[in-house]
Structure 1
Amino acid sequence: MRRLILFRHAEAVHSSRYRDHERPLTDAGRKDAARAGARLADSALSIDLVLVSDSQRTRETWDLAGAALKEAPEARLEKKLYEAERRDLMNLAREQPDSVKTLILVGHNPSIAEFGVHFAGRGEREALKRLGKGFPTSAIAVFELDGVEWRKLRWGDGDLVHFWA
């Protein structure tokens, strides 16, 4: 069973002092990122690979969230995630080797939200309903992929089993 996890970065400062790419997390964002990491840790999901946008806010989000995990998965900065569209996220997922069973994409809206809505072919009813209302900062969507290889992923293949927001 493969899993694809979408993780939107935590709340970042809105200030003209920073270029968009360099915006750090707010104090609330740092707390939310740590809570999201605790949620991942409590889920006891085994994570093989994390692809993180190279923006400051996504790097900080993963650093704080990942610190809550007992075992640190391999994490890589992925420049393509910064200005990605939903099809770019699909292409990144399709590029993963069969050895990766659980993949996390740490990125930005609107691509994370759009991907989630189009990828969720079925799932837990309340989770689908919440996902349809938006993908707030620090939210995490967990999809199971029953018998689907990464390279053969299509829209609607995901079974949304959790949406933590």
Structure 2
Amino acid sequence: MSVDVSRSIVLFRHAKADWPEVPDHERPLAERGRREAPETGEWLAEHGPLPELTLCSTATRARETWKLAVHQFPRRPRTVYEERLYEAPPGQIIEVLNEAPEDMENVLVVGHNPGMQSVAGLLAGSADQEARARLERGFPTSAVAVLRFTGSWKSLEAGSAELTDFWSPQE
């Protein structure tokens, strides 16, 4: 596949989690999270891009978010549950994306803050002004940032993408 391929990354912060007496990795979604995850799935199904591959944190709240959101899609993408995405810093998220198969044009990452907001800001060398303003106000639960870049997954690095959209069911 040519390196001049236009690619999309959707960064999806997990939905609102509950705070029961369990280890952080095992925290389930709160009622609000169970309502908002499908809303984000609906928004993605309508506005795209629809992923061919989803990389999802292994945390319970991330897995539950993805399972609720993906039901809104016309087809289920390949899903990989990736331990390195749990509480990952931006550099580690980029490393995981650098390993995406080159035949995939659209990849979705389900992860956590502050990593999601940080990596969106780091990758966005340019941005739609409205999307950047929303991202700078914060990256709430169930929010998505859509970035586009041209090249191979291995070439993805800071400043190489454009932030084209930012959406949250809380707006």
State the match for 1:2 in structure 2.
7
Percent identity reads: 38
Distance in 1, Cα, partners of 2:53 & 2:115: 19
The 5-angstrom pairing of residues 39-118 of structure 1 reads 39-118=43-122
Distance in 2, Cα, partners of 1:129 & 1:114: 14
> 1:44: Cα distance to partner?
4.2
- Runs of at least 4 residues off by over 6 Å: none
Distance in 2, Cα, partners of 1:32 & 1:46: 18
TM-score normalised according to structure 1 size: 0.96
> 1:46: Cα distance to partner?
3.3
> Are residue 158 (structure 1) and residue 165 (structure 2) matched?
no
Task: Write out per-residue CA displacement over residues 36-87 of structure 1, whole angstroms, 9 at most, x where no aligned residue.
Answer: 0000111142311000000100000000000100100001100000131110
Task: Write out per-residue CA displacement over residues 95-149 of structure 1, whole angstroms, 9 at most, x where no aligned residue.
Answer: 112101000110001111110111111121110011112111000000011x221
State the match for 2:151 in structure 1.
148
Is the 2:15–2:141 contact (alpha carbons within 8 Å) kept by the matching residues of 1?
A: yes
Which structure 2 segments of 5+ residues have no match?
A: 1-5
Q: Give the letter for the 1:105 counterpart.
A: V
Distance in 2, Cα, partners of 1:56 & 1:121: 32
> Are residue 122 (structure 1) and residue 121 (structure 2) matched?
no
Which structure 1 segments of 5+ residues have no match?
A: none
From 13, 18, 21, the counterpart of 2:18: 13
Q: Give the letter for the 1:161 counterpart.
A: T
State the match for 2:27 in structure 1.
23
TM-score normalised according to structure 2 size: 0.92
Number of residue-to-residue matches in the alignment: 163
Q: Give the letter for the 1:30 counterpart.
A: R
Q: How large is the RMSD of aligned CA atoms in angstroms?
A: 0.9
Give the 3 Å change call, closer, same or farther, for CA 134–44 of structure 1 in structure 2: closer
